[in-house]
Amino acid sequence: MTQAELAEFVMANSTNARRRLLCVGGGTACRDTAIEDVIEVRLDKLNRVIDYPARDMTITVEAGIRMAELTRILNAENQRLPIDVPQAEQATLGGVIATNWSGPRRLGCGTMRDYVIGISAIDATGRRFSAGGRVVKNVAGYDICKLLVGSKGELAIISQVTLKLRPRPETSALVGLTFDSTRQVEAVLARLLNSATRPMAIEVVNPHATLNSLAEVQSKRFLVCVGYEGATHEVQWQVESLIAEAQPFEPRSAKSLFGSDAEPAWAELTDFVLSGALPSARSPLTFKASLPPSRTMEFLQLATAAGISAKAHAGNGIVLGHLPGNVTAAVQADAVLKPLSELVNSCNGSLTVLRSPLDWPIAPQVGGVTAGREWSERIQQQLDPLGLFRR
């Protein structure tokens, strides 16, 4: 399939059949969705590399390229796109952009919005449009790239993307520190705000979830994972400095992992959304909450009391949680989620259900930004007048 063929197909649909269209990249985020009477537009064959001027540290690719394949291509030039994606062998670049997914390195490296410098897309009438360019300095007009990042396939089909890249770091390290309470964790996080070090990631795992790579130190406590990347001597110095800074808070245990020894722990933190960190039974429901970083530990405390396995990107106020296996009905899930929903509502946050049984009547989202909704609807009306991308 080519981008021109895809545009023709969309145009034919908008003039003749007028069936709703559902973009599917790798399908990792939409496999449990039951949407009837739609045509699935599979994008994983739209996967060519258009241009890779490695010395400019940019790459232009079609949006259906798998994330693992993109990583292999960039590795050959010692470069990377520092966005952590679960199931990278399946997930596509377009899917990651459309969901604006991010993982542990979000704190130090940012999100897709920081890396997409050019984009081409097809609207619901089959019209092709593009924005940005292939060079880093190309600021002109409206920033359509940012509009499409996080648009969840409801505005247009992203067909081609130009990315800004970063060099691969020489090495990385993860320091695991354990504590008995969220109060102690909060005190350490406050200290980290004034740390002499520059963490790439600050993740807090609660006692109901276990990271296999750090299981021997975690032992049913709160685990704070602080990640560093850079030149070897720089990373070594930061790890030593962090351990010295954390000493006054008396962690129950500490462990540092360097280089290839740290890789499994980074992978476990990235894959947490797949419920890999659950000790036994599979979780019935997975959610993602966004709230101010200052309220994250309060949220984690409530989640822990409810038996939820949870992990927070503590520097960014994002929490991923898996309900315990003994929750077997929607009414039970509602009761468990109620205090968490009340907390996110009280601080203008949001809670999104990522995965749940299809027959559970659970609200997919609580809270969320309402400002600018009128503008969003007007943009959607322009790009998709017939509502063919709407859910």
Ligand X SMILES: Cc1cc2nc3c(=O)[nH]c(=O)nc-3n(C[C@H](O)[C@H](O)[C@H](O)COP(=O)(O)OP(=O)(O)OC[C@H]3O[C@@H](n4cnc5c(N)ncnc54)[C@H](O)[C@@H]3O)c2cc1C
Beta carbon nearer to ligand X, 202 or 285: 285
Tell me if 94 contacts ligand X by CB under 6 A: yes
Q: State in angstroms the smallest separation of the CB of 309 from ligand X.
A: 15
Contact 214, 326 (CB under 8 A): no
Residue 117 tokens read as 């410098």
Beta carbon nearer to ligand X, 27 or 126: 27
Burial of 253 (0-12, 13-18, 19+ CB in 10 A): middle
User: Which of 14, 28, 58, 270 lies at the binding interface for ligand X (CB under 6 A)?
Assistant: 28
Tell me if 273 contacts ligand X by CB under 6 A: yes
The span from the CA of 81 to the CA of 276, in Å, is 24
User: Which of 354, 362, 379, 386 lies at the binding interface for ligand X (CB under 6 A)?
Assistant: 354
DSSP bridge partners of 79:
167
User: Which of 149, 157, 257, 318 lies at the binding interface for ligand X (CB under 6 A)?
Assistant: 157
Tell me if 269 contacts ligand X by CB under 6 A: no
The span of 9-17, 70-78, 88-96, 198-206 binding ligand X (CB under 6 A) equals 88-96
Which residue matches tokens 């993602």? 288
Contact 307, 324 (CB under 8 A): yes
Q: State in angstroms the smallest separation of the CB of 320 from ligand X.
A: 10
Contact 78, 52 (CB under 8 A): no
Tell me if 85 contacts ligand X by CB under 6 A: yes
Residue 19 tokens read as 């069936």
Q: State in angstroms the smallest separation of the CB of 83 from ligand X.
A: 9
Q: State in angstroms the smallest separation of the CB of 256 from ligand X.
A: 28
User: Which of 153, 317, 324, 349 lies at the binding interface for ligand X (CB under 6 A)?
Assistant: 153
Q: State in angstroms the smallest separation of the CB of 191 from ligand X.
A: 32
Tell me if 86 contacts ligand X by CB under 6 A: yes
Tell me if 115 contacts ligand X by CB under 6 A: no
Task: Show Cβ contacts of residue 345 under 8 Å, excluding neighbours closer than 6 positions.
Answer: 366, 367
Beta carbon nearer to ligand X, 123 or 186: 123
340-346, Cβ contacts within 8 angstroms, sequence gap of 24 or more = 340/289, 340/299, 340/302, 340/303, 340/306, 341/366, 341/367, 343/291, 343/295, 343/298, 343/299, 343/302, 344/289, 344/290, 344/291, 344/299
**CA-based nearest residue to 343, from 285, 291, 288:** 291
**Three-point CA angle 381, 133, 75, nearest 5°:** 115
Provide DSSP, 281-311. SPPS-EEEEE--GGGHHHHHHHHHHTT-EEE
The span of 49-57, 94-102, 326-334, 336-344 binding ligand X (CB under 6 A) equals 94-102
Tell me if 109 contacts ligand X by CB under 6 A: no
Contact 95, 82 (CB under 8 A): no
The span of 10-18, 26-34, 177-185, 262-270 binding ligand X (CB under 6 A) equals 26-34
For the chain, how far is it from start to end, CA to CA, in angstroms? 25
Residues 163-202 that bind ligand X (CB under 6 A): none
User: Which of 136, 243, 274, 330 lies at the binding interface for ligand X (CB under 6 A)?
Assistant: 274
71 to each of 91, 163, 193, 274, how far by Cα in Å? 12, 12, 31, 21
Tell me if 122 contacts ligand X by CB under 6 A: no
Residue 188 tokens read as 């350490």
Tell me if 95 contacts ligand X by CB under 6 A: yes
Reduced 3-state DSSP string for 204-230: EECCCCCCHHHHHHHCCCEEEEEEEEE
Tell me if 113 contacts ligand X by CB under 6 A: no
- Residues 3-22, one symbol each (x = binds ligand X by CB under 6 A, - = not), give -------------------x
Tell me if 99 contacts ligand X by CB under 6 A: yes
User: Which of 3, 47, 58, 92 lies at the binding interface for ligand X (CB under 6 A)?
Assistant: 92
Tell me if 303 contacts ligand X by CB under 6 A: no
Q: State in angstroms the smallest separation of the CB of 250 from ligand X.
A: 36
Binding site for ligand X (CB under 6 A): 22-30, 43, 63, 85-87, 90-92, 94-96, 98-99, 101, 152-153, 157-158, 273-274, 354-355
